[in-house]
Amino acid sequence: MIGRLNHVAIAVPDIGAASATYRDILGAHVGAPFAQAEHGVTVVFIELPNTKIELLEPLGANSPILKFLEKNPNGGIHHLCYEVEDIIAASDRLKSKGARVLGDGNPKIGAHGKPVLFLHPKDLNGTLIELEQI
């Protein structure tokens, strides 16, 4: 069912500093930061030859990554995103296998303007998984 790794999202306390690390130390092509108020994050995309890295900094008091950064003050891997062809079929399959879809269980429009859903980390080896319809 799952296809390519679309991105690895890393929550960071300071997106400027994290961008500089990727640009200056790792030599990556780092995009400009942009606010995604509806998702409560400021995002930087880093394009790699085979996938993307997304740096996420909290935006606003209700940011969904604030709690994660309280537990991981230096930042850390927040989630992995796998591509699927049909998000509804994926959701139906996951529910039938007992995996918990977060939120109301229905896909939402994600950071790239495509339907996404998130799966409970306790069902997936302690890793928050995002599925994105491509």
Binding site for Co ion (CB under 5 A): 9, 81, 130
Kindly state the smallest distance separating residue 97's Cβ from Co ion, in Å: 22
Kindly state the smallest distance separating residue 27's Cβ from Co ion, in Å: 23
Kindly state the smallest distance separating residue 116's Cβ from Co ion, in Å: 7
Give the type of residue at 92: D
Catalytic residue status for 38: no
Residue with structure tokens 């306790």?
122
- Comparing CB distances to Co ion, the nearer of 24 and 76 is 76
Q: What is the DSSP letter of 89?
A: H
The catalytic position among 54, 57, 130, 132 is 130
- Comparing CB distances to Co ion, the nearer of 5 and 24 is 5
- The per-residue DSSP string of 90-119 comes to HHHHHHHTTPPBSTTSS-EE-TTSSEEEEE
- Comparing CB distances to Co ion, the nearer of 55 and 81 is 81
Backbone angles phi, psi at 116, to 5 degrees: -135, 160
Return the number of other C-beta atoms located less than 10 Å from residue 62's C-beta.
Answer: 8
* Residue positions annotated with a catalytic role: 130
